[in-house]
């Protein structure tokens, strides 16, 4: 992995990123909620890009990883704008977006803004609209009232917070209720033992996207992370199909 660099936003936010140059569309990896570019899937794709002379860009959203800022200020809109600012500043030509979990929701927002530069999208347990279907009415009411929601975290000792600002912004970013005007090739990977995002969500996303070039791969024994060796191999094969 290369040393991290930093892109300075207009308000002085420092967005950490790693980049390698190469051929073909630039792969831009969008991590999940409270995740960063040091994760296993991001690292594997970056190393694969380096090995095959492909362009790749990893980043940490503000408030995550090595980027500056407070996680409590994070929203889909804020993180979308950071991704687009990095692409504008650091990437030439077409872009291949790879979004994991929440990153799969963010992938749609970034993809809509990229327009003709969008070469393709790969979703890994993509979770668009998760603040709607992933929370109970009581939890949604808590967030709508301006309170922080804390949930058990299966991946660490500290509870996972959802902040009311994130929730309020997400309410304006729902995408599964109507057609998503994206026509590029799309590959969606989802484990059928995913305890966080129902695998049917990828089917819902496939139906909502305008593109006719969509393939959904269901991994019967796959969990939410899809980070086993065979899962990473499936992801790498999906990426390779765009080069």
Concatenated DSSP letters of the chain: -PPPEEEEPTT--EEEEEEE--EEEEEEEE--TT--TTSHHHHHHHHHHHHTTEEEEEE--TTSTTS-S-GGG--HHHHHHHHHHHHHHH--S-EEEEEETHHHHHHHHHHHHHGGGEEEEEEES--TTHHHHSS-HHHHHHHHTTPPEEE--TTSSSPEEE-HHHHHHHTT---TTS-B---S-EEEEEETT-SSS-THHHHHHHHHB--S-EEEEEETT--SS--SHHHHHHHHHHHHTT-
How far is it, in rounded angstroms, from Cα 24 to Cα 54?
Answer: 6
| Ramachandran region, residue 206 (left: φ > 0; alpha: ψ -120 to 50; beta: rest) | alpha
Residues annotated as catalytic (active site), given as ranges: 101, 194, 224
């Amino acid at each position: 992995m290369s040393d991290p660099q930093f892109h300075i936003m207009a308000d002085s936010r420092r967005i950490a990123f790693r980049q390698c140059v190469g051929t073909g569309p630039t792969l831009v990896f969008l991590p999940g909620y409270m995740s960063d570019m040091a994760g296993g899937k991001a690292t594997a794709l970056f190393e694969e890009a380096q090995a095959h002379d492909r362009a790749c860009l990893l980043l940490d959203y503000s408030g995550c990883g090595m980027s500056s800022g407070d996680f409590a200020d994070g929203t889909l809109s804020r993180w979308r704008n950071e991704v687009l600012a990095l692409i504008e500043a650091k990437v030439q030509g077409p872009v291949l977006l790879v979004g994991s979990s929440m990153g799969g929701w963010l992938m749609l927002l970034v993809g809509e803004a990229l327009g003709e530069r969008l070469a393709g999208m790969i979703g890994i347990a993509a979770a668009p609209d998760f603040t709607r279907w992933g929370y109970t009415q009581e939890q949604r009411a808590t967030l709508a009232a301006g309170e922080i929601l804390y949930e058990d975290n299966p991946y660490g000792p500290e509870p996972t917070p959802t902040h009311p600002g994130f929730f309020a912004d997400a309410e304006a970013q729902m995408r599964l209720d109507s057609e998503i005007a994206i026509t590029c090739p799309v590959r969606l990977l989802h484990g059928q033992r995913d305890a966080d995002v129902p695998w049917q969500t990828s089917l819902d996303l496939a139906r909502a996207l305008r593109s006719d070039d969509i393939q959904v791969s269901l991994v019967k024994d796959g969990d939410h992370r899809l980070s086993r060796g065979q899962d990473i191999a499936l992801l790498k094969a999906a990426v390779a199909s765009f080069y």
